[in-house]
Amino acid sequence: MRQLIAGNWKMNGLLADSLERASAIAAEAPRLACDVLVCPPATVLRAVAGKLAGTVVAVGGQDCHAEAQGAHTGDLSAAMLKDAGASAVILGHSERRADHGESSALVRAKVAAAMAAGLLPIVCVGETEAERLAGRKEEVVRSQLRDSLPDDFAGVIAYEPVWAIGTGRTPTEADVAAMHASIRAALSDRLGAGGRQLRILYGGSVKPTNARALLALPEVGGALVGGASLVAADFLAIAAAAAR
Q: Are 238 and 206 in contact (CB under 8 A)?
A: yes
Minimum Å gap between C-beta 211 and ligand PEP is 11
- Here's the x/- map for ligand PEP, 108-127, by CB under 6 A: it reads as --------------------
| DSSP at 241 | T
Among 88, 111, 214, 225, binds ligand PEP (CB under 6 A): 225
Q: Is 19 near ligand PEP (CB under 6 A)?
A: no
Give the burial class of 136: count Cβ atoms within 10 A of its Cβ; 0-12 exposed, 13-18 middle, 19 or more buried. middle
* Residue type for position 26: A
Half-sphere exposure of 25 (CA within 13 A, CB side): 36
Q: Does 182 sit near ligand PEP (CB under 6 A)?
A: no
Q: Tell me the closest approach of the beta carbon of residue 228 to ligand PEP, in angstroms.
A: 6
39 binds ligand PEP (CB under 6 A): no
User: Can residue 224 be called a binding residue for ligand PEP (CB under 6 A)?
Assistant: yes
Least spacing, CB of residue 40 vs ligand PEP, in Å = 14
User: From the CB of 193, what's the least distance to ligand PEP, in Å?
Assistant: 29
DSSP 106-121: HHHHHHHHHHHTT-EE
Site map for ligand PEP, 128-157, x if CB under 6 A? ------------------------------
Residue 93 annotated to the active site: yes
Residue 91: other Cβ atoms inside 10 A: 29
Of residues 162-181, which lie at the interface with ligand PEP (CB under 6 A)?
Answer: 165-166
Closer to ligand PEP at the Cβ: 17 or 30?
17
The reply on whether position 226 binds ligand PEP by CB under 6 A is: yes
Residue nearest to ligand PEP (CB): 226
Q: In the chain, count H helices and then E strands.
A: 11, 8
Q: Pick out residues in 191-220 that bind ligand PEP (CB under 6 A).
A: 203-206
Among 95, 127, 160, 219, the active-site one is 160
182 and 162 in contact (C-beta within 8 Å)? Answer: no
Please confirm, yes or no, whether 100 is among the known catalytic residues.
no
Integer angstrom CA distances of residue 106 from 100, 111, 112, 200: 11, 9, 10, 21
Out of 3, 4, 8, 26, point to the residue binding ligand PEP (CB under 6 A): 8
Query: Got the DSSP string for 171-225?
Result: --HHHHHHHHHHHHHHHHHHHTHHHHHSEEEEESS--HHHHHHHHTSTT--EEEE
Interface residues toward ligand PEP, by CB under 6 A: 8, 160, 165-166, 203-206, 224-228
User: Which residues carry out catalysis?
Assistant: 93, 160
